Structure 1
Amino acid sequence: MRRREVVYQAASLCLRHPDADILAAAPLIRAALRESAPTAEAAFEPLFEWWERTRPEAVAAAYVDTFDMSKRHALYLSYWTDGDTRRRGMVLAGFKQRYRDAGLELEGTGELPDHLPLVLEFAAQRPDDGAALLQEYRASVELIRIALAERGSPYAGVVAAVCATLPGVSPSDREQAMALAASGPPAESVGLDAYDPRLLPLQPVGGRA
Protein backbone atom coordinates (compact mmCIF):
# COMPACT_ATOMS: atom_id res chain seq x y z
CA MET A 1 0.00 0.00 0.00
CA ARG A 2 1.35 3.40 -0.98
CA ARG A 3 2.28 5.99 1.65
CA ARG A 4 -0.12 8.62 0.33
CA GLU A 5 -3.22 6.42 0.63
CA VAL A 6 -2.29 5.46 4.20
CA VAL A 7 -1.88 9.10 5.21
CA TYR A 8 -5.25 10.01 3.70
CA GLN A 9 -7.04 7.09 5.36
CA ALA A 10 -5.41 7.74 8.72
CA ALA A 11 -6.22 11.45 8.57
CA SER A 12 -9.80 10.73 7.53
CA LEU A 13 -10.32 8.60 10.62
CA CYS A 14 -8.48 10.91 13.01
CA LEU A 15 -10.42 14.00 11.92
CA ARG A 16 -13.84 12.41 12.49
CA HIS A 17 -15.75 12.77 15.71
CA PRO A 18 -13.72 10.70 18.21
CA ASP A 19 -16.29 8.14 19.29
CA ALA A 20 -15.35 4.88 21.01
CA ASP A 21 -14.67 3.09 17.70
CA ILE A 22 -12.31 5.78 16.47
CA LEU A 23 -10.37 5.92 19.73
CA ALA A 24 -10.13 2.13 19.84
CA ALA A 25 -8.67 2.15 16.32
CA ALA A 26 -5.75 4.40 17.31
CA PRO A 27 -3.22 1.53 17.68
CA LEU A 28 -4.15 0.19 14.24
CA ILE A 29 -3.89 3.63 12.64
CA ARG A 30 -0.54 4.22 14.33
CA ALA A 31 0.77 0.81 13.21
CA ALA A 32 -0.29 1.43 9.60
CA LEU A 33 1.50 4.78 9.59
CA ARG A 34 4.62 3.31 11.19
CA GLU A 35 4.79 0.60 8.55
CA SER A 36 3.97 2.65 5.45
CA ALA A 37 4.49 6.33 6.30
CA PRO A 38 6.91 6.68 9.24
CA THR A 39 7.61 10.36 8.52
CA ALA A 40 3.92 11.15 8.64
CA GLU A 41 3.52 9.12 11.83
CA ALA A 42 5.50 11.75 13.72
CA ALA A 43 2.96 14.38 12.72
CA PHE A 44 0.13 12.24 14.11
CA GLU A 45 1.89 11.45 17.39
CA PRO A 46 0.71 14.55 19.33
CA LEU A 47 -2.88 13.51 18.66
CA PHE A 48 -2.31 9.87 19.59
CA GLU A 49 -0.53 10.87 22.78
CA TRP A 50 -3.29 13.31 23.71
CA TRP A 51 -5.92 10.63 23.12
CA GLU A 52 -3.99 8.25 25.38
CA ARG A 53 -3.75 10.63 28.35
CA THR A 54 -7.18 12.27 28.06
CA ARG A 55 -10.54 10.91 29.16
CA PRO A 56 -12.74 9.99 26.15
CA GLU A 57 -15.48 12.40 27.16
CA ALA A 58 -12.93 15.23 27.34
CA VAL A 59 -11.57 14.28 23.90
CA ALA A 60 -15.09 14.40 22.46
CA ALA A 61 -15.84 17.73 24.12
CA ALA A 62 -12.62 19.25 22.81
CA TYR A 63 -13.43 18.05 19.28
CA VAL A 64 -16.85 19.69 19.40
CA ASP A 65 -15.37 22.90 20.78
CA THR A 66 -12.67 22.96 18.08
CA PHE A 67 -14.57 21.94 14.98
CA ASP A 68 -18.28 22.34 15.65
CA MET A 69 -18.45 25.49 17.76
CA SER A 70 -15.97 27.64 15.84
CA LYS A 71 -15.95 28.48 12.14
CA ARG A 72 -12.28 29.34 12.56
CA HIS A 73 -11.47 25.63 12.26
CA ALA A 74 -14.34 24.56 9.98
CA LEU A 75 -13.60 21.29 8.20
CA TYR A 76 -15.84 22.14 5.24
CA LEU A 77 -13.52 22.99 2.36
CA SER A 78 -15.89 25.13 0.32
CA TYR A 79 -16.74 27.24 3.37
CA TRP A 80 -13.27 28.79 3.07
CA THR A 81 -13.67 29.58 -0.64
CA ASP A 82 -17.39 30.34 -0.91
CA GLY A 83 -18.66 30.96 2.62
CA ASP A 84 -22.41 30.78 3.13
CA THR A 85 -23.22 32.01 -0.37
CA ARG A 86 -25.63 30.78 -3.00
CA ARG A 87 -22.71 29.57 -5.10
CA ARG A 88 -21.75 27.10 -2.42
CA GLY A 89 -24.75 24.89 -3.20
CA MET A 90 -23.45 24.43 -6.73
CA VAL A 91 -19.99 23.69 -5.39
CA LEU A 92 -21.32 21.01 -3.03
CA ALA A 93 -23.19 19.41 -5.93
CA GLY A 94 -19.88 19.39 -7.76
CA PHE A 95 -18.25 17.44 -4.92
CA LYS A 96 -20.99 14.83 -5.10
CA GLN A 97 -20.56 14.54 -8.85
CA ARG A 98 -16.82 14.03 -8.44
CA TYR A 99 -17.52 11.09 -6.15
CA ARG A 100 -20.04 9.60 -8.57
CA ASP A 101 -17.69 10.04 -11.51
CA ALA A 102 -15.08 8.05 -9.59
CA GLY A 103 -17.61 5.25 -9.01
CA LEU A 104 -18.37 6.10 -5.40
CA GLU A 105 -21.48 7.38 -3.67
CA LEU A 106 -22.38 8.90 -0.32
CA GLU A 107 -24.14 6.61 2.14
CA GLY A 108 -25.91 8.49 4.90
CA THR A 109 -22.86 10.15 6.39
CA GLY A 110 -24.84 13.08 7.76
CA GLU A 111 -22.08 15.39 6.52
CA LEU A 112 -21.79 17.73 3.57
CA PRO A 113 -19.68 16.29 0.74
CA ASP A 114 -16.88 18.84 1.25
CA HIS A 115 -16.25 17.69 4.83
CA LEU A 116 -12.50 17.11 4.99
CA PRO A 117 -12.67 13.60 6.54
CA LEU A 118 -15.00 12.57 3.72
CA VAL A 119 -12.75 14.10 1.06
CA LEU A 120 -9.81 12.25 2.63
CA GLU A 121 -11.72 8.97 2.53
CA PHE A 122 -12.30 9.62 -1.18
CA ALA A 123 -8.58 10.33 -1.60
CA ALA A 124 -7.67 7.09 0.18
CA GLN A 125 -9.83 5.07 -2.20
CA ARG A 126 -9.11 7.10 -5.36
CA PRO A 127 -5.72 8.72 -4.62
CA ASP A 128 -5.15 10.51 -7.92
CA ASP A 129 -8.65 11.98 -8.08
CA GLY A 130 -8.62 12.73 -4.36
CA ALA A 131 -5.23 14.42 -4.39
CA ALA A 132 -6.38 16.56 -7.31
CA LEU A 133 -9.46 17.63 -5.33
CA LEU A 134 -7.33 18.41 -2.28
CA GLN A 135 -4.96 20.44 -4.43
CA GLU A 136 -7.84 22.44 -5.87
CA TYR A 137 -8.85 23.29 -2.30
CA ARG A 138 -5.26 23.63 -1.08
CA ALA A 139 -5.94 27.09 0.36
CA SER A 140 -8.79 25.72 2.48
CA VAL A 141 -6.70 22.84 3.84
CA GLU A 142 -3.79 25.15 4.59
CA LEU A 143 -6.00 27.66 6.41
CA ILE A 144 -7.38 24.83 8.56
CA ARG A 145 -3.80 23.69 9.29
CA ILE A 146 -2.69 27.19 10.27
CA ALA A 147 -5.76 27.84 12.44
CA LEU A 148 -5.24 24.58 14.31
CA ALA A 149 -1.54 25.31 14.79
CA GLU A 150 -2.37 28.78 16.14
CA ARG A 151 -4.76 27.16 18.59
CA GLY A 152 -2.09 24.66 19.66
CA SER A 153 -4.42 21.82 18.72
CA PRO A 154 -3.11 18.24 18.55
CA TYR A 155 -5.06 17.93 15.30
CA ALA A 156 -2.71 20.39 13.58
CA GLY A 157 -0.13 17.73 12.77
CA VAL A 158 -2.74 15.53 11.10
CA VAL A 159 -3.69 18.27 8.64
CA ALA A 160 -0.01 19.15 8.15
CA ALA A 161 0.66 15.54 7.13
CA VAL A 162 -2.08 15.83 4.49
CA CYS A 163 -0.58 19.08 3.17
CA ALA A 164 2.82 17.39 2.93
CA THR A 165 1.42 14.91 0.37
CA LEU A 166 0.56 17.74 -2.03
CA PRO A 167 2.97 19.34 -4.50
CA GLY A 168 4.62 22.64 -3.73
CA VAL A 169 5.50 24.38 -0.49
CA SER A 170 2.86 25.10 2.13
CA PRO A 171 2.16 28.75 2.98
CA SER A 172 4.20 29.73 6.00
CA ASP A 173 1.54 31.90 7.63
CA ARG A 174 -2.08 33.00 7.48
CA GLU A 175 -1.33 35.95 5.18
CA GLN A 176 0.21 33.69 2.53
CA ALA A 177 -2.67 31.23 2.84
CA MET A 178 -5.23 34.00 2.54
CA ALA A 179 -3.46 35.25 -0.57
CA LEU A 180 -3.71 31.76 -2.00
CA ALA A 181 -7.42 31.68 -1.19
CA ALA A 182 -7.93 35.14 -2.68
CA SER A 183 -6.53 33.96 -6.00
CA GLY A 184 -10.02 32.68 -6.71
CA PRO A 185 -12.22 29.61 -6.26
CA PRO A 186 -11.28 26.37 -7.99
CA ALA A 187 -12.07 26.03 -11.67
CA GLU A 188 -13.97 22.81 -10.95
CA SER A 189 -16.77 23.11 -8.72
CA VAL A 190 -5.19 2.47 1.62
CA GLY A 191 -6.94 1.97 3.33
CA LEU A 192 -6.52 0.31 6.68
CA ASP A 193 -7.75 -3.02 5.40
CA ALA A 194 -8.37 -4.52 8.81
CA TYR A 195 -10.44 -1.57 9.97
CA ASP A 196 -14.18 -1.84 10.52
CA PRO A 197 -15.76 -1.00 7.13
CA ARG A 198 -18.81 0.46 8.85
CA LEU A 199 -16.73 3.56 9.53
CA LEU A 200 -15.93 4.08 5.86
CA PRO A 201 -18.66 6.34 4.44
CA LEU A 202 -17.80 6.07 0.76
CA GLN A 203 -18.55 2.78 -0.98
CA PRO A 204 -18.32 1.73 -4.62
CA VAL A 205 -21.52 2.25 -6.55
CA GLY A 206 -23.43 -1.01 -6.68
CA GLY A 207 -22.05 -2.42 -3.44
CA ARG A 208 -18.84 -2.94 -1.52
CA ALA A 209 -15.61 -3.70 -3.28
Structure 2
Amino acid sequence: MDNFSADQHAAAVDQYIYDALELHDPLFEAGRERAHAAGLPQIEVSAAQGKFLKLLIELLGAQRVLEVGTLGGFSTSWMARAVGPQGQVVTCEFEPLHARIATENLRQADLEQRVQINVGAAANTLGELIAQGTEPFDVIFIDADKRNNVTYLELAMDLSHAGTLIIVDNVVRGGAILQEATDAETQDPDIRGIQQTYRWLAEDPRVDATALQTVGSKGWDGLAFARVL
Protein backbone atom coordinates (compact mmCIF):
# COMPACT_ATOMS: atom_id res chain seq x y z
CA MET A 1 0.00 0.00 0.00
CA ASP A 2 3.08 2.31 0.02
CA ASN A 3 2.18 3.66 -3.42
CA PHE A 4 -1.39 4.51 -2.40
CA SER A 5 -2.41 8.14 -2.13
CA ALA A 6 -3.86 9.42 1.14
CA ASP A 7 -7.34 9.23 -0.39
CA GLN A 8 -6.76 5.62 -1.44
CA HIS A 9 -5.54 4.72 2.05
CA ALA A 10 -8.62 6.34 3.59
CA ALA A 11 -10.94 4.51 1.19
CA ALA A 12 -9.17 1.21 1.90
CA VAL A 13 -9.58 1.75 5.64
CA ASP A 14 -13.24 2.56 5.10
CA GLN A 15 -13.59 -0.73 3.21
CA TYR A 16 -11.85 -2.56 6.06
CA ILE A 17 -14.29 -1.04 8.56
CA TYR A 18 -17.19 -1.91 6.28
CA ASP A 19 -16.09 -5.54 6.11
CA ALA A 20 -14.91 -5.93 9.71
CA LEU A 21 -18.13 -4.53 11.20
CA GLU A 22 -20.31 -6.30 8.64
CA LEU A 23 -22.05 -3.11 7.56
CA HIS A 24 -23.25 -4.64 4.30
CA ASP A 25 -27.02 -4.52 4.06
CA PRO A 26 -28.24 -6.21 0.86
CA LEU A 27 -31.45 -4.16 0.66
CA PHE A 28 -29.71 -0.83 1.21
CA GLU A 29 -26.86 -1.69 -1.15
CA ALA A 30 -29.32 -2.75 -3.84
CA GLY A 31 -31.02 0.61 -3.43
CA ARG A 32 -27.74 2.44 -3.80
CA GLU A 33 -26.92 0.48 -6.95
CA ARG A 34 -30.42 1.24 -8.29
CA ALA A 35 -29.82 4.94 -7.72
CA HIS A 36 -26.43 4.85 -9.44
CA ALA A 37 -27.87 2.94 -12.40
CA ALA A 38 -30.53 5.63 -12.77
CA GLY A 39 -27.80 8.25 -13.04
CA LEU A 40 -28.13 9.85 -9.62
CA PRO A 41 -24.93 11.51 -8.32
CA GLN A 42 -22.81 9.15 -6.25
CA ILE A 43 -22.64 11.52 -3.30
CA GLU A 44 -24.71 9.66 -0.69
CA VAL A 45 -23.31 9.00 2.77
CA SER A 46 -21.11 5.95 3.20
CA ALA A 47 -22.47 2.84 4.91
CA ALA A 48 -20.38 3.67 8.00
CA GLN A 49 -21.85 7.17 8.10
CA GLY A 50 -25.35 5.78 7.60
CA LYS A 51 -24.83 3.43 10.54
CA PHE A 52 -23.51 6.37 12.56
CA LEU A 53 -26.71 8.32 11.89
CA LYS A 54 -28.73 5.27 12.89
CA LEU A 55 -26.87 4.89 16.18
CA LEU A 56 -27.21 8.59 17.01
CA ILE A 57 -30.96 8.47 16.44
CA GLU A 58 -31.30 5.33 18.55
CA LEU A 59 -29.16 6.78 21.35
CA LEU A 60 -31.40 9.84 21.46
CA GLY A 61 -34.54 7.73 21.29
CA ALA A 62 -35.63 9.96 18.41
CA GLN A 63 -39.01 9.21 16.88
CA ARG A 64 -39.25 12.12 14.45
CA VAL A 65 -36.48 12.89 11.96
CA LEU A 66 -36.36 15.61 9.31
CA GLU A 67 -34.00 15.27 6.35
CA VAL A 68 -33.14 17.98 3.82
CA GLY A 69 -31.85 16.22 0.70
CA THR A 70 -33.16 12.72 0.01
CA LEU A 71 -31.15 11.77 -3.11
CA GLY A 72 -31.74 8.02 -3.60
CA GLY A 73 -32.84 7.41 -0.04
CA PHE A 74 -29.69 5.73 1.29
CA SER A 75 -29.33 7.91 4.39
CA THR A 76 -33.12 8.02 4.61
CA SER A 77 -33.22 4.24 4.85
CA TRP A 78 -30.71 4.12 7.71
CA MET A 79 -32.65 6.76 9.61
CA ALA A 80 -36.01 5.12 8.91
CA ARG A 81 -34.71 1.89 10.35
CA ALA A 82 -33.54 3.79 13.43
CA VAL A 83 -36.88 5.45 14.28
CA GLY A 84 -38.66 2.10 14.40
CA PRO A 85 -42.19 1.20 13.26
CA GLN A 86 -43.78 3.97 15.37
CA GLY A 87 -41.41 6.70 14.16
CA GLN A 88 -41.37 8.88 11.06
CA VAL A 89 -38.79 10.41 8.74
CA VAL A 90 -39.92 13.46 6.77
CA THR A 91 -37.54 14.14 3.90
CA CYS A 92 -37.30 16.92 1.29
CA GLU A 93 -36.10 16.35 -2.29
CA PHE A 94 -36.04 18.85 -5.14
CA GLU A 95 -35.60 16.40 -8.03
CA PRO A 96 -38.65 14.24 -8.92
CA LEU A 97 -36.43 11.46 -10.34
CA HIS A 98 -34.51 11.26 -7.08
CA ALA A 99 -37.76 11.08 -5.14
CA ARG A 100 -39.07 8.26 -7.35
CA ILE A 101 -35.90 6.23 -6.93
CA ALA A 102 -35.91 6.84 -3.16
CA THR A 103 -39.56 5.77 -2.93
CA GLU A 104 -38.77 2.50 -4.72
CA ASN A 105 -35.70 1.90 -2.57
CA LEU A 106 -37.68 2.44 0.62
CA ARG A 107 -40.44 0.17 -0.65
CA GLN A 108 -37.95 -2.59 -1.41
CA ALA A 109 -36.50 -2.22 2.10
CA ASP A 110 -40.00 -2.35 3.64
CA LEU A 111 -39.52 1.13 5.10
CA GLU A 112 -41.81 3.17 2.87
CA GLN A 113 -44.53 3.42 5.54
CA ARG A 114 -42.12 5.21 7.90
CA VAL A 115 -41.11 7.94 5.43
CA GLN A 116 -42.85 10.95 3.94
CA ILE A 117 -41.07 12.32 0.87
CA ASN A 118 -41.86 15.93 -0.06
CA VAL A 119 -40.93 16.92 -3.61
CA GLY A 120 -40.01 20.53 -4.32
CA ALA A 121 -37.74 23.28 -3.05
CA ALA A 122 -36.81 22.38 0.53
CA ALA A 123 -37.22 25.93 1.82
CA ASN A 124 -40.82 25.92 0.56
CA THR A 125 -41.49 22.51 2.09
CA LEU A 126 -40.06 23.54 5.45
CA GLY A 127 -42.12 26.72 5.36
CA GLU A 128 -45.25 24.67 4.70
CA LEU A 129 -44.45 22.34 7.59
CA ILE A 130 -44.10 25.34 9.87
CA ALA A 131 -47.38 26.85 8.63
CA GLN A 132 -49.13 23.54 9.28
CA GLY A 133 -47.93 23.51 12.88
CA THR A 134 -46.04 20.27 12.34
CA GLU A 135 -44.88 18.51 15.50
CA PRO A 136 -41.20 19.35 16.22
CA PHE A 137 -38.47 16.96 15.14
CA ASP A 138 -35.93 15.24 17.38
CA VAL A 139 -33.16 15.06 14.76
CA ILE A 140 -32.68 17.19 11.65
CA PHE A 141 -30.16 16.13 8.98
CA ILE A 142 -29.23 18.80 6.42
CA ASP A 143 -27.50 17.42 3.33
CA ALA A 144 -28.60 19.44 0.30
CA ASP A 145 -27.35 22.50 -1.62
CA LYS A 146 -24.78 24.07 0.68
CA ARG A 147 -25.40 27.64 -0.48
CA ASN A 148 -28.79 27.49 1.27
CA ASN A 149 -27.61 25.91 4.53
CA VAL A 150 -28.34 29.00 6.63
CA THR A 151 -31.86 29.23 5.21
CA TYR A 152 -32.42 25.60 6.17
CA LEU A 153 -30.96 26.16 9.62
CA GLU A 154 -33.20 29.15 10.29
CA LEU A 155 -36.28 27.20 9.21
CA ALA A 156 -35.13 24.16 11.17
CA MET A 157 -35.23 26.20 14.36
CA ASP A 158 -38.99 26.59 13.95
CA LEU A 159 -39.27 22.81 13.57
CA SER A 160 -37.18 21.98 16.64
CA HIS A 161 -37.59 21.65 20.37
CA ALA A 162 -35.06 22.05 23.17
CA GLY A 163 -32.66 19.15 22.75
CA THR A 164 -33.16 18.65 19.02
CA LEU A 165 -29.93 17.54 17.31
CA ILE A 166 -29.17 19.26 14.00
CA ILE A 167 -26.53 17.63 11.77
CA VAL A 168 -25.08 19.37 8.71
CA ASP A 169 -23.11 17.27 6.23
CA ASN A 170 -20.17 18.21 3.98
CA VAL A 171 -18.81 21.10 6.03
CA VAL A 172 -15.11 20.69 5.13
CA ARG A 173 -15.15 20.00 1.37
CA GLY A 174 -11.56 18.84 1.10
CA GLY A 175 -10.35 21.89 3.02
CA ALA A 176 -11.96 24.32 0.57
CA ILE A 177 -13.58 26.16 3.49
CA LEU A 178 -10.17 27.78 4.04
CA GLN A 179 -10.68 29.88 0.92
CA GLU A 180 -10.76 33.59 1.56
CA ALA A 181 -13.75 35.34 0.03
CA THR A 182 -11.72 38.05 -1.68
CA ASP A 183 -14.33 38.29 -4.40
CA ALA A 184 -17.80 37.16 -3.40
CA GLU A 185 -18.86 37.10 -7.03
CA THR A 186 -16.27 34.50 -8.05
CA GLN A 187 -16.07 32.31 -4.95
CA ASP A 188 -17.95 29.01 -5.11
CA PRO A 189 -21.39 29.79 -3.61
CA ASP A 190 -21.47 26.39 -1.89
CA ILE A 191 -18.17 27.06 -0.12
CA ARG A 192 -19.44 30.51 0.84
CA GLY A 193 -22.60 28.83 2.12
CA ILE A 194 -20.58 26.50 4.36
CA GLN A 195 -18.54 29.39 5.73
CA GLN A 196 -21.80 31.18 6.51
CA THR A 197 -22.97 27.99 8.21
CA TYR A 198 -20.04 28.13 10.63
CA ARG A 199 -20.73 31.78 11.41
CA TRP A 200 -24.40 31.04 12.02
CA LEU A 201 -23.60 28.10 14.31
CA ALA A 202 -21.11 30.20 16.27
CA GLU A 203 -23.25 33.30 16.60
CA ASP A 204 -26.81 32.04 17.07
CA PRO A 205 -27.50 31.86 20.82
CA ARG A 206 -30.17 29.21 20.33
CA VAL A 207 -27.67 26.42 19.59
CA ASP A 208 -24.48 24.88 20.96
CA ALA A 209 -22.37 23.50 18.13
CA THR A 210 -19.17 21.82 17.00
CA ALA A 211 -17.83 20.18 13.85
CA LEU A 212 -15.68 17.15 13.14
CA GLN A 213 -13.55 16.32 10.12
CA THR A 214 -14.13 12.97 8.46
CA VAL A 215 -12.02 10.95 6.04
CA GLY A 216 -12.85 7.81 4.11
CA SER A 217 -14.47 6.67 0.88
CA LYS A 218 -16.18 10.07 0.69
CA GLY A 219 -12.83 11.83 0.79
CA TRP A 220 -11.90 14.59 3.25
CA ASP A 221 -15.00 16.24 4.61
CA GLY A 222 -16.85 16.75 7.86
CA LEU A 223 -20.05 17.00 9.86
CA ALA A 224 -21.34 19.83 12.04
CA PHE A 225 -23.50 19.09 15.08
CA ALA A 226 -25.75 21.55 16.89
CA ARG A 227 -27.93 21.02 19.94
CA VAL A 228 -30.94 23.28 20.21
CA LEU A 229 -30.92 24.92 23.63
Fold-level similarity (TM above 0.5): no
Greater Rg by CA:
2
TM-score, normalised on structure 1?
Answer: 0.30
Higher strand share: 2
